[in-house]
Chain A
Amino acid sequence: MADNKAQTLKIREFPVEENPEHTYLNAEKGIWSWLFTVDHKRIGLLYLFSITLFFFVGGLLALLLRTELLTPAQSIIDADTYNQIFTLHGAIMIFLFIIPSIPAALGNFFLPMMIGAKDVAFPRLNLASWWIYIFGALFALYSIITGAVDTGWTFYTPYSTQTGTSVVSMTFAVFILGFSSILTGINFIVTLHKLRSPGLSWSRMPLFLWSLYATAIIQILATPILAITVLLLAMERILGIGIFDPTMGGDPVLYQHFFWFYSHPAVYIMIVPAFGIISELISTFSRKTIFGYWAIALSSLAIAFIGFLVWGHHMFVSGQSELSSVVFSFLTFFVGVPTGIKIFNWVATMYKGSIDLKTPMLYALSFLFLFTIGGLTGIMIGALSVNVHLHDTYYIVAHFHYVMMGGTVIALLGGLHYWWPKMTGRMYNELWGRITCGIIFVSFNMTFLPQFIMGSQGMPRRYFNYVDQFQGLHQFSTIGSYILGLGFMIMLVYLVWSLFYGPKASSNPWKARSLEWMASSPPAHHNFEYTPVILHGPYDHHQPIREFHMGVAKEADEQTTEAERETT
């Protein structure tokens, strides 16, 4: 195919007034054209809308928890309700928000565009995975209405087999959501293997795609284990099969092994796509070729691999053998190596770069700061003796939120601002973007830094009351969480505002080099009017963009127009 390029196009930047009138947004009209679309861009937006909704639901629950923690005794809700709310906060944020967040929303939108494809390999399967996700969300909703769940998002046995709350419907929700996640993973792997444009070799793949590739591998290898685990848990409750029940000869620790064999790799499903976004942001806003391309690309795969070998570090005090605890602790430190490689390469990319502190770059810098704290505290609690002291305290809560919110959510926000002009064709307000990033950064630290201190002093997690000495820190944390909530509300307002009143965006406002910026903003229905032949790398900042060229695969082009004629 590569020798097929009959002509070379110079990359052209679409000025605002030249952006085409026909885009994926107005290709079809009406609500059904959205709900049953097979266009990966629209499906990406469907996911973006859904995860935003669940993020606000989960966030409201978190604010409720923080409000309860204003006073040492009961403030507004009783202990049982508190248990249900922190479980729902965890389950919604994990299964409905953060796992699908970056891959299914931004990944769906940009993965095909970044490789010059018209769509993912299986567009209908892609739509099905969104519907399965909604179906799973309905199961979760049903569980909430019929008595909620109070087990924590980990559903540990034997409590989860005995509690009177609706565990079965929630586990089915998790089963179904996992299926949706698997289908997205299959789609991405096949698309990356089979649909790359001519000239887009593995070494020219943007690092965001390498991270999505590593994520997809974890999704397909780990999620089936979750499926069988929750299936066994459901059967345990329905039939009492006793596999996890000590009174019937079962073993509750086996449940924990099964659960963390999925759920530890799952935290890499959550964080690895964030690494990919940061690579894009740092290179683009430093105007520099990424430092250590292969080191960053392969470290994603290394994390995916090592991530499968460390699940036992969640169970240091659960009664596994001392030897396995030592081995798991030792292996846990290894995760720090590829992660450290990434951080050093990002910093090296910025060195002597021409750094432009636009909103996405501010988020990238926040990420470096917050994720480094989250990552290093992770090494600390991976150490056996420290872990025994800090187990089940707020220290763990703070660590988890520093990596998941300070890492994944901050990177998601950076990516959202970065690609906003491409997705919507409108620019957000840069000043408000920067102010909000500042608010979120400061208030995030206000919320979670005190939790490290409380945890190290012995404040246990999942408690709805506490001893008086922690009141000052708890109140500080709660006030921080309110400001954090305010920051997200401001963001919602200015982003929605920009949809209607924001200035129109040009095709490449950030002067980025990867392929999605070579299409118009917003992109056309089929992304590109031709099958592009790629002649440049995704980070070729050493070359001015006016010297960029792109080949056109002639034959493929003719086939496309034929196919288009058929479909229209």
Chain B
Amino acid sequence: MGNHSVATGKKSHLQHHFVDEDQQFESSKFGMWIFLVTEVLMFGGLFVAYIIYRSWHPDLFYMAAQELDVALGATNTVVLIGSSLTIALAIRAIQLDKIKAGINYLVATIGLAATFMIIKYFEYMDKFGKGIYPGSAYSYDGIGHDMAVNFFSIYYMMTGLHGIHVVIGIGLIGWMTIKAKKGLIHSGYYTPVENTGLFWHLVDIIWIFLFPLLYLID
């Protein structure tokens, strides 16, 4: 975890109220972890709703899940896991002062995240085309169940909130790319990119739970 200010000649990022770089780095990282806890809890509310509705209508969840495209969902899972790898490589590269490689990995991560969103867009459009909307606009009659809209309300809430997080993640990683290009993050100070990585891993892991819960009901 050491983030020593040994790199001489580089601008100090120590804020005045910290005693040293270690204290600053550990504070930032600790704060980020607490923030991730709040994120998990927020999604937790949706998972609770999912559990309750699935226990009420197990047959509905089985039928409705058949409408989802497992191939696209699986592709997106691979894409996101890949992006977790590239951002981890980016952090490693920046810690080793290989800034150029770090920037390339960051850009690759953005590319994978964008791929995820594009695939998600086609999935959504396909559903909308059939009349599968969230809530009262729902007009699809291909599922023989009165409460079919319930599943898709939860589906859109969960994937929608996750999608918003992907977009925020793209913004953060883009910001990190700019920071890296300006030389503001390097072996002496990599706190922001490390925290962005933590956020991105959370986005990834939430999807890893969403994919089987929504697509792979058997």
| A228 in contact with B16 (CB, 8 Å) | no
Contacts of A560 in B (CB 8 A): 16
Contacts of A125 in B (CB 8 A): 31
CB distance from B181 to the nearest CB of A (A): 23
CB distance from A172 to the nearest CB of B (A): 14
User: Which among B45, B136, B146, B150 is the interface contact of A239 at CB below 8 angstroms?
Assistant: B136
| A243 in contact with B16 (CB, 8 Å) | no
Cβ < 8 Å to A, chain B residues 148-166: 149-150, 153-154, 156-157, 161
| B38 in contact with A223 (CB, 8 Å) | yes
Q: Does any Cβ of B come within 8 Å of A1's Cβ?
A: yes
Q: Which 6 A-B pairs have the closest CB atoms?
A: A240-B136, A228-B45, A239-B135, A241-B153, A224-B42, A249-B147
Q: How far is A242 from B134 in the complex, measured between Cα atoms in Å?
A: 9
Q: How far is A253 from B130 in the complex, measured between Cα atoms in Å?
A: 32
| A193 in contact with B157 (CB, 8 Å) | no
Number of interface residues, chain A, beta carbon within 8 A: 51
Q: How far is A560 from B14 in the complex, measured between Cα atoms in Å?
A: 11
Asked, given contacts A224-B41, A228-B42, A232-B49, whether A195 binds B23 with beta carbons under 8 Å apart, the answer is yes
Contacts of B16 in A (CB 8 A): 118-119, 526, 560, 563-564, 566-567
Q: How far is A249 from B23 in the complex, measured between Cα atoms in Å?
A: 52
Contact residues of B: prevailing secondary structure: helix
Chain B residues touching A, range: 35 or more
Q: Contact mask A538-568 → B, CB, 8 Å, 1/0?
A: 0000000000000000001001100110110
User: Which among B14, B15, B30, B44 is the interface contact of A193 at CB below 8 angstroms?
Assistant: B30
Q: Does any Cβ of B come within 8 Å of A114's Cβ?
A: no
Contacts of A254 in B (CB 8 A): 49, 52
Q: Which residues of A contact B (CB under 8 A)?
A: 1, 112, 117-119, 121-123, 125, 182, 185-187, 189-191, 193-195, 220-221, 223-225, 227-229, 231-232, 235-236, 239-243, 248-251, 254, 258, 526, 531, 556, 559-560, 563-564, 566-567
Contacts of B27 in A (CB 8 A): 121-122, 190-191, 193-195
Q: List 16 A-B contacts (CB under 8 A).
A: A112-B17, A119-B17, A123-B17, A220-B38, A227-B45, A235-B157, A239-B136, A240-B135, A240-B137, A241-B134, A243-B53, A243-B150, A249-B56, A254-B52, A559-B20, A563-B16
CB distance from B136 to the nearest CB of A (A): 3
| A186 in contact with B19 (CB, 8 Å) | no
Asked, given contacts A117-B17, A195-B27, A556-B19, whether A249 binds B134 with beta carbons under 8 Å apart, the answer is no
| B26 in contact with A194 (CB, 8 Å) | yes
Chain B, residue nearest A190 (CB): B31
Q: Contact mask B23-58 → A, CB, 8 Å, 1/0?
A: 100111011001101110111111011001100110
| A195 in contact with B17 (CB, 8 Å) | yes
Chain A, residue nearest B18 (CB): A195
Contacts of A191 in B (CB 8 A): 27
| B149 in contact with A248 (CB, 8 Å) | yes
Q: How far is A225 from B34 in the complex, measured between Cα atoms in Å?
A: 15
CB distance from B137 to the nearest CB of A (A): 7
Asked, given contacts A235-B157, A249-B150, whether A258 binds B45 with beta carbons under 8 Å apart, the answer is yes
Q: How far is A187 from B16 in the complex, measured between Cα atoms in Å?
A: 16
Asked, given contacts A232-B157, A249-B150, A254-B52, whether A190 binds B34 with beta carbons under 8 Å apart, the answer is yes
CB distance from A105 to the nearest CB of B (A): 20
New A-B pairs, 8, CB < 8 Å, besides A121-B31, A190-B31, A220-B37: A117-B17, A118-B16, A186-B38, A191-B27, A195-B18, A225-B45, A228-B42, A563-B16
Q: How far is A526 from B17 in the complex, measured between Cα atoms in Å?
A: 9
CB distance from A544 to the nearest CB of B (A): 32
Contacts of A231 in B (CB 8 A): 161
